[in-house]
Structure 1
């Protein structure tokens, strides 16, 4: 029997913007070569139908403190059993008001994690090791809220070096209490990301916006050996549709118990605090390291 799925990054807010910025249209046309419907309004019944067809029991919807998504919050209100929120839009240069709002929202809404994209924020001039992020790190650690940080070169034509996962090395050292997840893969720095995952117990990686059949073999090897509990599935719907990426994920050369963790259990444990019976990490044998 195929495992159930938690889709940890779904966008339902694209249709709320009357005119998408040029860089977003370019990433659709030049990078993802997506359909013209990518930025149309998403309706709840259609999303639920696609989720049900592919075993998605829960989806985490992108939201924003500065520009709340009425669509995401309506979906959560109507179906709290199927949806939670990911909260972005934190003002890192004037953080107090944003962090107060984040704390209040986590008390009132099912917020699964906070999110920040270094390339998309501050013109890409602040890597995650910069002190401007420290209030956010401290607050998320204080309220036990996972934080997701974009890693890897982004699709839009904006600066990418700040999303090298090595910038999280110092963060993990200084904030060991922080539940931290790299999202959107880590291309072209996959090897750095894997070494970081081995090194830090509080760190995870999400494969959002990556077609599973395009995931590099070193990552799959790590999942089969030292890291069955460290890698988390997401689609980045509608950039990549569930009807494409979930069958691809189920076709990966992974043992059933590792696939179960990748598609469901790791997210359930990391974002929703539900322990699983399979060990997430552990000492590796010489064969596993190789």
Structure 2
């Protein structure tokens, strides 16, 4: 495998939960038709074997401010050359302490981005344009830390309207310094997402939790034309495996340089550049 890859969304924390909530079981069983082993404890050697097999040089592991992942932090401590963290779980209703903790974690650990899923907290009632997010936006801009926001209708049976990417339009206007990335695609609002990507230099989209062969032609056309530096690969492992997704990505009708951007270069530039160097 000669092509380099960065997997920008990997879950190694599932096995830390003794009993998954019903909505997580629903997304495994009904949406992804996943194996029962999806929520088993992650084994670092097995993950590294899969990464090596598929050319994945780095993986960003989901972590949580309120309930830190022992597994993710253990992996990062053992192999900082291969793993970094994505920090979710900030209490946006009580932001001062949460964002103080975010700053401390970023100073102490290799954090590649912060994350928030609008459908997954607050009963799905706060779109990203709501002022409840503003402290997070300001803090991430101050830290020069990218922020990833779930977009598209989510797989679990929870409200999805707040994840319409149009809600990011006002955010990009008010926080032009913020490095912002839509994650988990943007279905069924792909065209809205593409228009926003064209409009805002610091906005990106990650295709985590999407099989490359299921990506819409409108997105592939955008990658081939105006957006070769805007789309980023992520698997959502183990929901979808690297062994499945990376060969699918390599089979896409994309020029070689665009494929390299998608699988590696865009993530390297957006998530791993020295603070102060990123953006277009």
Quick check: TM above 0.5?
yes
Aligned with 1:165: secondary structure?
Answer: coil
1:193 aligns with 2:197: no
Matching of residues 43-54 of structure 1 within 5 Å: 43-54=43-54
Give the deviation of 1:20 after TM superposition. Answer: 0.3
> Equivalents in 2 of 1:3, 1:262: separation in Å?
11
Name the residue aligned to 2:108.
108
Which segments of 5 or more consecutive residues in structure 2 lack a partner in the other structure?
A: none
Name the residue aligned to 1:11.
11
Name the residue aligned to 2:121.
121
> Equivalents in 2 of 1:37, 1:125: separation in Å?
32
Q: Is the 8 A contact 1:153 1:161 kept in 2?
A: yes
> Equivalents in 2 of 1:182, 1:22: separation in Å?
26
Name the residue aligned to 1:285.
none
1:272 aligns with 2:272: yes
Matching of residues 103-182 of structure 1 within 5 Å: 103-182=103-182
Describe the superposition over 1:137-194 as per-residue Cα deviations: whole angstroms up to 9, x where unpaired: 0000001000000000000000000000000000000000000000000000000000
1:248 aligns with 2:243: no
Q: Is the 8 A contact 1:268 1:274 kept in 2?
A: no
Aligned with 2:186: secondary structure?
Answer: coil
Aligned with 1:238: secondary structure?
Answer: coil
Give the deviation of 1:3 after TM superposition. Answer: 1.8
**Cα distance 1:274–1:250, how it changes in 2: closer, same or farther (>3 A)?**
farther
> Equivalents in 1 of 2:242, 2:227: separation in Å?
24
Name the residue aligned to 1:82.
82
> Equivalents in 1 of 2:198, 2:90: separation in Å?
29
Describe the superposition over 1:67-100 as per-residue Cα deviations: whole angstroms up to 9, x where unpaired: 0000000000000000000000000110001100
Name the residue aligned to 1:236.
236
> Equivalents in 1 of 2:101, 2:56: separation in Å?
30
> Equivalents in 2 of 1:44, 1:157: separation in Å?
31
Name the residue aligned to 1:288.
none
> Equivalents in 1 of 2:22, 2:142: separation in Å?
38
> Equivalents in 2 of 1:190, 1:135: separation in Å?
28
Which segments of 5 or more consecutive residues in structure 1 lack a partner in the other structure?
A: 282-290
> Equivalents in 2 of 1:257, 1:13: separation in Å?
34
> Equivalents in 2 of 1:2, 1:91: separation in Å?
42
> Equivalents in 2 of 1:274, 1:174: separation in Å?
24
> Equivalents in 2 of 1:126, 1:184: separation in Å?
18
Give the deviation of 1:2 after TM superposition. Answer: 3.9
TM-score, normalised to structure 2, is 0.97
Describe the superposition over 1:200-252 as per-residue Cα deviations: whole angstroms up to 9, x where unpaired: 00100000000000000000000000000000000000000000000000111
Give the deviation of 1:118 after TM superposition. Answer: 0.1
Name the residue aligned to 2:30.
30
Aligned with 2:166: secondary structure?
Answer: helix
> Equivalents in 2 of 1:131, 1:100: separation in Å?
18
Name the residue aligned to 1:72.
72
Count of residues paired in the alignment: 277
Describe the superposition over 1:101-141 as per-residue Cα deviations: whole angstroms up to 9, x where unpaired: 00000010000000000000100000000000000000000
Name the residue aligned to 1:95.
95
> Equivalents in 1 of 2:133, 2:22: separation in Å?
28
Name the residue aligned to 2:216.
216
Give the deviation of 1:274 after TM superposition. Answer: 6.0
> Equivalents in 2 of 1:117, 1:200: separation in Å?
21
